[in-house]
Structure 1
Amino acid sequence: MRPDGVLFDAAGTLFDLTPPIHDVIASAAACQGHPCSPARLERALDDVGSTLGWPDDASDSAGRTRAWTVFVRQIIDEAHVTASEAALRTIAETAAATILEPANYRVFPDVTPLIERLSAADIRIGIVSNFDDLLFEILDHTRLSTLFDTVLTSYRTGISKPEPRIFHLAAQAIGTAPEATHYIGDSVYSDMGGAHAAGLRGILIDRDGKHPTYSGEKIVSLMDLQLDLDH
């Protein structure tokens, strides 16, 4: 079915940190003489992020640095990295600085072609993300900021996914009804759970095959979308 609008998640859907967070932390740890398996850090990242939440609502640059330093420290503790307190602090601070640098983010190669197709078909598009104002810096750096009709974040709205209200606000902002709006994201809980609860058509993008048991609509690339844009 041709949608009136398409909304997107941001990180993991449109762009990602390069290299990924667990590799960034592994590199910082190795530089301090305390190597740790990236796979172990990735598991720790998933555990910490799912139980304690992500640091995505800081009010300014200094707040983001503090929040991400604490977050990385929790990850390296969960991964049982053994080092002095000074070394652990340096690892966390170094990794946080890398994560917070907009120049370290890259747009997935399937994003621009899809946006061009949607724009050519007069489909309204927007972003709904659990993020603070770092998102706008990343969008500016990656040159995505001018391509979307609206960008709604948890920090600016005070509403976090999967709360349906933020999806409704985004649909309203692009002038579409929820039932005529698609939402594409990489999280089963916050993206698909929220989109479905809000009455949108939720489409999970599973680039790395992390959700093999997900029974809903799923794609591995934005190029796999079947949107009937030519009708």
Structure 2
Amino acid sequence: MNPDGVLFDAAGTLFDLMPPIPDVIASTAERHGLSCSPPRVELALNHIGGTLGWPDDAPDPRSRTRAWATFVHSILKETGLEAPSITRQRIAEAAAITILEPANYRVFPDVIPMIERLTAARVPIGIVSNFDDLLFDILDHTGLAKLFPTVLTSYRTGSVKPDSRIFHLATRAIGAEPEATYYIGDSIYSDMGGALKAGLHGVLIDRDGRHPTYSGEKITSLMNLHMSIGS
């Protein structure tokens, strides 16, 4: 179908931390004389994030840094890193500062061409993300802010994906019907689960082939969407 609108997740879909979080944590530990491989950190990150949740709703920079340091500390413990608690805390605080620096985020190369194509076709677009106000700093730094007039976050709406409410707020904001709106995201649970439940056309973006068994619509690049949105 030709959509009335297209909505996007943010982190992992439009941009990502460079280097990624597991590499940041592993390299920070290494600078403190400790070995902690990125794959091991990634396993811990996925487990902690999936069970305790991500620190996405802090009200101010200080609270955000504290929340992320606690999150990273939990990841370090999950990896079984043998170090005094004070050392793990120093690693966690240093990694949190790196993770929260907007200048460390990069837009995926397929994003701007797709946004330009949608804009040229006059298809309304927006962002729906589980994020706090750090997202707006990242969007400003990466240049994406001027391309997305509609940005809804869990922190500002009080609705967290996969809750349908945040998706319906977004479709109303861009003037589109849910069933005629595409939603592109990289999470099966929060993005695809929420979008499909809300009646949107969910498309999983899986750039790294992490979800080989996903049976729904899936792409490896935003540019592959040309089959879905038409010419």
Q: Report the TM range for the smaller structure's normalisation.
A: over 0.9
The sequence identity of aligned pairs, in percent, is 69
Which position in structure 2 is the counterpart of 1:140?
Answer: 140
1:60 is displaced (CA, Å) by: 0.3
1:227 is displaced (CA, Å) by: 3.3
CA distance in structure 2 between the aligned counterparts of 1:151 and 1:75, rounded to whole angstroms: 30
Gaps of 5+ in 2: none
1:228 is displaced (CA, Å) by: 3.9
Partner amino acid, structure 1, of 2:58: A
Partner amino acid, structure 1, of 2:205: I
1:50 is displaced (CA, Å) by: 0.4
1:87 is displaced (CA, Å) by: 1.2
Which position in structure 1 is the counterpart of 2:5?
Answer: 5
Q: State whether residues 73 and 88 of structure 1, in contact with CA within 8 Å, keep that contact through their aligned partners in structure 2.
A: yes
Which position in structure 2 is the counterpart of 1:227?
Answer: 228
The alignment status of 1:205 with 2:210, answered yes or no, reads no
CA distance in structure 1 between the aligned counterparts of 2:21 and 2:190, rounded to whole angstroms: 20
What TM-score do the two structures reach when normalised by structure 1? Answer: 0.98
Q: Is the alpha carbon distance of 1:204 and 1:116 closer, same or farther for their aligned partners in structure 2, counting shifts above 3 Å?
A: same
Partner amino acid, structure 1, of 2:228: L
Q: State whether residues 114 and 223 of structure 1, in contact with CA within 8 Å, keep that contact through their aligned partners in structure 2.
A: yes
CA distance in structure 2 between the aligned counterparts of 1:227 and 1:215, rounded to whole angstroms: 16
SS of residue in 2 equivalent to 1:89: helix
Which segment is superposed worse, 129-138 or 35-44? 35-44
Which position in structure 2 is the counterpart of 1:174?
Answer: 174
Correspondence 1:98-137 to 2 at 5 A: 98-137=98-137
Partner amino acid, structure 1, of 2:51: T
CA RMSD in angstroms comes to 0.7
Which position in structure 2 is the counterpart of 1:93?
Answer: 93
Partner amino acid, structure 1, of 2:206: D
The alignment status of 1:188 with 2:197, answered yes or no, reads no
Q: State whether residues 2 and 228 of structure 1, in contact with CA within 8 Å, keep that contact through their aligned partners in structure 2.
A: yes
Correspondence 1:9-88 to 2 at 5 A: 9-88=9-88
Partner amino acid, structure 1, of 2:141: H
Gaps of 5+ in 1: none
CA distance in structure 1 between the aligned counterparts of 2:47 and 2:138, rounded to whole angstroms: 25
SS of residue in 1 equivalent to 2:109: coil
1:63 is displaced (CA, Å) by: 0.6
What TM-score do the two structures reach when normalised by structure 2? Answer: 0.98
1:57 is displaced (CA, Å) by: 0.2
Partner amino acid, structure 2, of 1:146: K
- Give CA deviations for 1:122-169 in whole Å, capped at 9, x if unaligned: 000000000000000000000000101300000000000000010000
Q: Is the alpha carbon distance of 1:228 and 1:155 closer, same or farther for their aligned partners in structure 2, counting shifts above 3 Å?
A: closer
CA distance in structure 2 between the aligned counterparts of 1:38 and 1:116, rounded to whole angstroms: 35
CA distance in structure 2 between the aligned counterparts of 1:196 and 1:84, rounded to whole angstroms: 45
